[in-house]
Structure 1
Amino acid sequence: MTDATHHTPLEDAQGIAYGAGMAAFAIVMLTHLGFVTGQTAGLAVLISYATGWGFGPVFFAINLPFYWLGYRRMGWVFTLKTFAAVALVSVLSTLMPQWVSFTYLNPGLGAVMIGFMSGAALLALFRHGASLGGVGIVALYLQDRTGFRAGWTQLIFDACLFSVALALREWHTVAWSFLGALVLNLVIAMNHRRDRYIAA
C-alpha cells in the first residue's frame, strides 16, 4: 500500500523533470526578451548578459557553494534533489534555444507567461522536496541562525539585483521584468500552502 504522505521516487522524478523543464523554458523566453528576474537565476542572467557567458553554466556554477548550506539546513535528500533540478535547468536552458525560437513575442504577454511558468515550475519543485538553490537556501539558513526572516533576505537581494539591472538594461525592459517577477511571486504566495497538499 502506498504511503499517502510521501511521493514515490518515480513521482519525485516526474515532478522535478516537469519543474526543471518549465523553469528552463521560462528562462529561454526571458533571455530572448532581454528580461531579468530575481533570486539566483536573476544573478546568473545578469552575469550572462554582462559577460556573454551562457546562462546554463553560470547558473550551475553559482549554485555550487550553496549545497553545503542546503545539506545543513534541509538534509541530503533535499540537497540531492535540488542539485538534480539545478543541473537539469542548466542543461535544458542551454539546449532549448536550438529547439525553439520566437519570431515575435509581445513583452507584456511574455512577462506574464514567464511569471506563470516560473511559478508552476517552483511549485512543482517545492512539492517534491527540491528548489533551485542559491539565495533561498541562504535566506533559510540566516533565518535559523539569526531570526531574520527569509522573505526579507530574498526581498533585499532582489531589490539589489533589479537596481543593478537598471544600470545594465533599459528601464522599460526592467519594468516588464518586474511584472514577470510580480506574477511569479503572486503564483507562489497564492498556491504554496503545505496544508493543501495531500503528499509531502
Structure 2
Amino acid sequence: MNRTKQALLVFAGLLLTAAGTKLLTISSLTFGGTAGIATLLSFTFELSWGMLFFLVNLPFFYLSVKRLGWTFSLSTLLCIILISFVSDAFDTLSLPALPPLAAATASGLLIGTGVSMVLNQGSSLGGIHILAVYFEQFLSINRGLTLFVTDMIIVLSAAFIVGLSNALYSLIAIAIASFLVGKLKSGKPADDDADIALTEQETV
C-alpha cells in the first residue's frame, strides 16, 4: 500500500478514536485499556488525558519491542504521541453531553472503527492493543475478544468512580468497539512484522 495512503488512514483512525474518547468523557462514561486507566488517573492527577495516556503506555513498549519488532513498536509510539496531541486538541472544544446510551453507542462505533483502521495498517494504540496483537499472532486468540475481556475488567473496577450505571453503559461502548475490531480486519501488515520478530527470536 502507498505509504501516504497508509499514513492518512492511520491519522483518520486516530481522529475517530480521539472523538469517541472525547464523547465518552463529556458524558461521564469511561473506556477500558490504557484509555480507561488514563481517564481514571485524570480524576486524581492534574494532567491532561493525552499526557496520562502517553505515560501509561510507556511500560508496554518492552513487550512490543521484544515480541512484535521495532517497526510495529515505533509506529505504535508515533500513534500514541499523535492521539495524545489530538485528544488534548479536542479538549479545547465545548461539546454537549449526550444521553448515556447514545453516547456509548456512538463512541463504540467511532472507537471500534478508528482502532481497526490503525491496527489494519500495522500499528496500534499501545497498551492492551499491543497485548491483543501479541495474543492473536502467538496464541491465535481473536484480538477483539482480548480487548473485550480486559476492558470489561477495567471498567467494572472503575464503577465506584463513574457509578455502576455509567459503568454498565460504558460496557456497551466496549462491546461495540471490540466487535468491530474483531470483524474489521483487512490485510496483515502487523502479522508480517510479528512473524519477523518470532523468526529473529527462534534464531537466537
**Band of TM-score, shorter chain:** 0.7 to 0.9
Structure 2, unmatched stretches of 5+, are 194-204
Alpha-carbon offset, residue 158 of structure 1: 2.6
Identity %: 25
Q: Distance in 2 between matches of 1:179 and 1:64?
A: 28
Aligned partner (choices 26, 31, 45) of residue 37 of structure 1: 31
Which residue number in structure 2 is paired with residue 106 of structure 1?
Answer: 99
Structure 1, unmatched stretches of 5+, are 1-6
Which residue number in structure 2 is paired with residue 128 of structure 1?
Answer: 121
Alpha-carbon offset, residue 82 of structure 1: 0.7
TM-score of the aligned structures, taking structure 2 as reference length: 0.81
Alpha-carbon offset, residue 191 of structure 1: 2.0
Cα deviation, 1:80-125, whole Å, max 9, x if unaligned, reads: 1111111111011111121x32234222111111000001111110
- Cα distance change on mapping 1:123 and 1:156 into 2, 3 Å: closer
Secondary structure of 1:128's counterpart equals coil
AA aligned to 1:111 is A
**Do residues 11 (structure 1) and 5 (structure 2) align?**
yes
TM-score of the aligned structures, taking structure 1 as reference length: 0.82
Aligned partner (choices 170, 176, 181) of residue 169 of structure 2: 176
**Do residues 49 (structure 1) and 43 (structure 2) align?**
yes
AA aligned to 2:184 is N
Aligned partner (choices 102, 108, 111) of residue 118 of structure 1: 111
Contact 2:28 2:166 in 1 (8 A): yes
**More displaced 10-residue stretch of structure 1: 52-61 or 150-159:** 150-159
Alpha-carbon offset, residue 139 of structure 1: 5.1
Over aligned residues, Cα RMSD in angstroms? Answer: 2.5
Secondary structure of 1:111's counterpart equals helix
The count of aligned residue pairs is 188
